[in-house]
Amino acid sequence: MQPLSLPALQAEFFAENLMNLPHTHRTLLSQLLLCAGFVLLSTTAYALEEGQQFQDWTVGCERLPGMDRERCFIYQTVVNQDTDEPVLQMAVGYLPMDDGREQPAALLTVPLGVALPPGIGLSVDGGEMIRLPYERCVPSGCIAGFPLEDDMLNQFRRGIRAEIRLHDGMQGIGLPVSLMGFTSGFNALR
């Protein structure tokens, strides 16, 4: 299954809604703007290939106009077992910071029709559920992006399974994301 086009999902949102968000979100989103609509930056030590597998994680790479090299990220798509339709895509990579450093970040994309006010929940191996606000819904889905601070990144590296929790307006829905292969895939982005 092909990854959802991250720039197509994000670029329009950032341009239109940056000033309507709280300062902490504006800071994150301004960083995302710098990477041309959430193209995840990678300075790979060796060439990653589109579609390369790291257990349950897959490499995606994109080259946008005006960029001198491909930017790579890892992603995982969760599908509905009954319909084989994607219900969640999680992409992880690096965003450039103003000071030249790179910040690990994640992007969650879910189908339209979710209840927006509760946001989206994330926990690792049954730990504390954190809440993330949706940033925008576009024709291909609703999006939540967040920086991967050291604590969360370490949970992903040590973990076996994350749970993404969304609400359909009637009930909460938990979606499993395997963390098998996350560490090797994430490390390969460097």
Of the candidates 162, 21, 170, 172, the one whose C-alpha atom is nearest the C-alpha of residue 92 is: 162
pLDDT of residue 168: 87
Query: For the segment 77-110, what is each residue's pLDDT rounded down to a tens digit?
Result: 999 989 999 999 999 998 877 887 889 999 999 9
- Residue 19 has φ and ψ, to the nearest 5°, of -80, -15
Of the candidates 92, 103, 96, the one whose C-alpha atom is nearest the C-alpha of residue 150 is: 103
C-alpha to C-alpha distance for 164 and 187, rounded to whole angstroms:
23
Q: Does the structural domain 6-188 have CATH classification 2.60.40.1880?
A: yes
pLDDT of residue 102: 85
Model confidence, pTM: 0.74
- pLDDT tens track, the chain, 190 positions: 444 444 433 333 333 333 344 444 433 333 333 333 333 333 333 578 889 999 999 999 987 666 666 779 999 999 998 999 999 999 999 887 788 788 999 999 999 999 999 999 999 999 999 999 999 999 989 999 999 999 999 999 999 999 999 998 889 999 999 999 999 999 999 8
Residue type present at position 89: Q
